[in-house]
Amino acid sequence: MRHIFWAGDSTVATNKASTYPQTGIGQAFDRFTAMDVAVCNRAVNGRSTKSFIDESRLAPIYDEITKGDFLFIQFGHNDEKENDPARYTEPFGEFKVNLGKFVNVARNKGAYPVFITSLERCLFDENGKLKPSAHTDYVLAMKEAGKELEVPVIDLFTMSRDFLEKTGDEASKKYYMNLAPGEASWAPEGKIDNSHLKYEGAMLYAGMVAKGLAALGGVYASLLADENLEKDTTTIETNG
């Protein structure tokens, strides 16, 4: 059995009934994997590369991961929080250094590291145009680290942003923990959530990650069920 260990934040994390219908990408990803692949989702809400390491969450991955496994590394959302010193990292400084620490954990155990850029937020302006992203520098920094460390990068940021621009404000709300047309508001005091995903969104973006693995080929594509190599996984229909 091969294992995908996933280190990341709330856009990836596995949710319980208490946060339904919120669903993380890592929680949905086993729908796309081959029968000999198990997903070990270690992503935790609210974590950055810094807080994940400082809370000793990387150490257990080092203990468990073995030769031939994979470590998917997806951070950025919380590294951006300049007013929170427990989580903030400078994109072209500490963020890249921390990414290297995740890579070392994988390679020291004979596993394959994979970088996945941040999921874009569903934020549109009053004219229905997708707003400029807060993720840009962290995406560029991760791509730089990928080149420097020879780690493959799946650019979920670009794929998700392209999808949102094409789909538009109202239609894209069905994928996020936002208020979709015709829905009763689930959020306390009408709070709008443009970052976290419903099941539909988790499946959509997990499909994009699968598409990225298929494009990488070789051992990365081998993680996927055969049927997911034969079709565009980003168009899979979801029924909630």
For residue 81, the number of C-alpha atoms closer than 13 Å in the C-beta half-sphere is 14
Going by the DSSP 8-state scheme, the letter that residue 2 receives in this structure is E
Among candidate residues 10, 48, 51, 172, the one labeled active-site is 10
Q: Examine the residue annotation and report whether 10 is marked as an active-site residue of this protein.
A: yes
> Catalytic pick from 126, 189, 227, 237?
189
Catalytic position from the list 3, 77, 135, 196: 196
Q: Is 64 a catalytic residue?
A: no
Tokens at residue 113, please? 């590291």
Q: Is 189 an active-site residue?
A: yes
CA triplet 105, 56, 65: central angle to 5 degrees? 35
| Residue 17 CB-half CA count within 13 A | 0
The answer to whether 91 and 79 are in contact (CB under 8 A) is yes
Closest CA to 119 of 227, 13, 240: 13
Catalytically annotated residues = 10, 189, 196
